[in-house]
Amino acid sequence: MKLFSFSLACVFVFALLASSLASAAIVEHIFKVQNTTIKRFCKEQVIVTVNGLFPGPTINVHEGGTVIVHVLNEGPYDITLHWHGVLQLFSPWADGPEYITQCTIRPRSKYTYKFNVTQQEGTVWWHAHASYLRATVHGAFIIKPRSGRFPFPKPYKQIPLILGDLYNSRVEDITTEAQASGGGPNISYAFTINGLTSGHLMNCTENETFKMKVKQGKTYMLRMINAALNYDLFFKIANHNFTVVAVDASYTDHYVSDLIVIAPGQSVDVLFTANQPTGSYYMVASPYVVGLEDFDANVARGTVIYENAPPSSKPIMPVLPPFNDTDTAYTKFYNVITSKVRAPHWVPVPRKVDEHMFITIGFNLELCDSKNPNNATCKGPNGHRFSASMNNESFSVPAGVKLSLLEAFYKNKSSVYTRDFPDKPPVLFDFTNLNDANNTNLLFAPKSTRAKKLRFNSTVEVVFQNTALLGGQNHPMHIHGYSFHVLAQGFGNFNRKDRAKFNLVNPQLRNTVGVPMGGWTVIRFQANNPGVWLVHCHMEDHVPWGLAMIFEVENGPTPLTSVPPPPADLPKC
């Protein structure tokens, strides 16, 4: 008996050591930000990359591990990196958005990000969080189960699929031109799959498409990310279905569909089985767009090629939804995903709500002469500048700021931002009525830097209400530092009767969620991560216009539940 007990004790100690080692696993990278020349559509162009790669390096880490990334900025622009969807529990200094949690890493400078990855598994991603640079500075961030086991049969292979877009000029020039003119930015000219395009669709002889070779009967996990700057995307593989198993690094009930819909910033993990006749099949990403007349109408094609498929076999093309098919987007995908209850890191919905917020989001105008002393003609609607707001507050970091908002929070500097972001809009109107699209009494929003202060561990419910101002558009809303339950989505103006639609049992857990044009989305989360966290639309051109705000979450009761001191090498403004 003593020997048996000793053996059990040894096994137990070994298990503890193994668990501890898994928890302490460190993944370390060097990221060199640099100009790189690529060739697409038979022409060369210079883009900003990490380590010369487009997309950038994939980070693989086990849940419980530590990530260290040494960033060497050898490029010509200021930059920061954001680890999109990583919760950053008690590590807000590593979150990355410029002037929110840090100042930028200047050219010929460096900075090291270090953070733990806990309480989530699945696919998220990393990207630049300074201006338009995320168009080419991005990559997959894969969080693997600490145990090595999935809550479904292990796939034969795991393949990151990053959907993106390309522009005819340097994205920094696009940003500068748009900000100078006050108008909308140039649109992209092509969509990409893992950085590759469909050259044959653009009268280019080069074969630049992404090819995925598969074996008959094998199941693959596609780790999908939408890195496009301003487009929701439809995704299909001809004659094949997908089984959705996770969204935004949170496991879901298995949902079978022949169509994936993915908003900017979102990720989706799907299982794909090569169960069709041997041959070649197109995978296609096409834009889902509402509210825009001028947009990139091209599609990105990749090819799924079965082992032993004849080289001459012509790929089969899937039937795609119309570009503005909102009914398909929501009834076949966005509104039908549910969480897998009691899966690893599943979080039940908090029932007691401490803070109720009703936040309108949408476009606005800014007077042209407010930023142009010569009063030259601006290229936004009615000769003004494009703007955007949340509850009629258009977010803007104060000019000449000498420290980030997180530093201001940590040092208790009250002059950088205020803590009076409103819980509801200042004026109630028929939010989704297109007759008010050009109502000048509603179109102008003041610039401000306002935060909503939240008590540590309080539960927050937010109704995001889209508006029809200037016609409106879909808005994918992202909250840094948190995942949140999506209780319901709908169309029209949200009202009390819509609470009957709330899913309080197994709603999807997201870090980015679409608020439909002419509609609303309700989310709920627990404010258990202290710091200053950006809330914004993940369409890149909407952020400089002001479609953002910040949550200031107070420190917890102990040093371990408080914002730690800033890193010694934190960039200075």
Lowest mean pLDDT among 215-219, 366-370, 415-419, 512-516: 366-370
One fold for 148-337 and 355-561: yes
Q: In which element (H, E) is residue 246 found?
A: strand 242-247
pLDDT for 20 beyond 80: no
DSSP structure class, residue 51: T
> Tokens at residue 95, please?
């979150």
pLDDT for 22 beyond 60: no
Dihedral, CA atoms, 318, 323, 329, 330, nearest 10 degrees? -160
Q: Which residue bears the tokens 């569909």?
A: 257
Model confidence band, residue 12 (pLDDT cutoffs 50, 70, 90): very low
For 524-556, b/e burial (b = at least 16 CB within 10 A) is bbbbbbbbbbbbbbbbbbbbbbbbbbbbbbbeb
Q: Which residue bears the tokens 């029932």?
A: 351
Model confidence band, residue 39 (pLDDT cutoffs 50, 70, 90): confident
User: What residue spans define the domains of the chain?
Assistant: 24-147, 148-337, 355-561
The residues with which 93 forms a beta bridge, in sequence order, are none
Q: Which residue has the higher pLDDT, 165 or 296?
A: 165
Mean pLDDT of 92-107: 96
CATH code, residues 355-561? 2.60.40.420
Percent pLDDT > 70 in the chain is 92
Q: Which CATH superfamily is domain 24-147 in?
A: Cupredoxins -  blue copper proteins (2.60.40.420)
pLDDT for 299 beyond 60: yes
Q: Are 279 and 256 in contact (CB under 8 A)?
A: no
Q: Which residue has the higher pLDDT, 173 or 89?
A: 89
Closest CA relative to residue 550, chosen from 364, 417, 402: 417
Mean pLDDT of 391-410: 92
Model confidence band, residue 204 (pLDDT cutoffs 50, 70, 90): low
What span, in angstroms and rounded, lies between the C-alpha atoms of 559 and 563? Answer: 8
What span, in angstroms and rounded, lies between the C-alpha atoms of 250 and 88? Answer: 15
Q: What is the pLDDT of residue 176?
A: 78
**pLDDT tens per residue across span 332-369:** 999 999 999 999 999 999 999 999 999 999 999 999 87
> Tokens at residue 20, please?
């501890």
E strands, 263-333, are 267-273, 280-288, 300-306
List, in order, residues 6 or more apart from 312 with CB less than 8 Å away. Answer: none
Closest CA relative to residue 533, chosen from 225, 90, 138: 90
Helix or strand or coil: residue 436?
helix
Ramachandran angles phi, psi of 499, nearest 5°: -65, -25
CATH topology of domain 148-337: Immunoglobulin-like (2.60.40)
Q: Which residue bears the tokens 């995925």?
A: 212
Percent pLDDT > 90 in the chain is 79
Q: What is the pLDDT of residue 3?
A: 40
The pTM for the full model equals 0.93
Closest CA relative to residue 235, chosen from 176, 162, 286, 307: 286
Model confidence band, residue 201 (pLDDT cutoffs 50, 70, 90): low
**pLDDT tens per residue across span 180-197:** 788 877 788 889 999 998
Q: Which residue has the higher pLDDT, 418 or 132?
A: 418
> Tokens at residue 328, please?
């398909």
**Distance, first Cα to last Cα, the chain:** 66
For 335-380, the three-class secondary structure string (H helix, E strand, C coil) is CCCEECCCCCCCCCCCCCCCEEEEEEEEEEEECHHHCCCCCCCCCC
Strands 59-62 and 138-144 turn out to be parallel
Cα dihedral sign, 85-90-92-95: negative
Q: Are 72 and 130 in contact (CB under 8 A)?
A: no
Averaged confidence pLDDT in the chain: 91
Neighbours of 75 (CB within 10 A): 23
Q: What is the pLDDT of residue 23?
A: 47
Q: Identify whether 92 is preceded by a cis peptide bond (ω within 30 of 0).
A: no
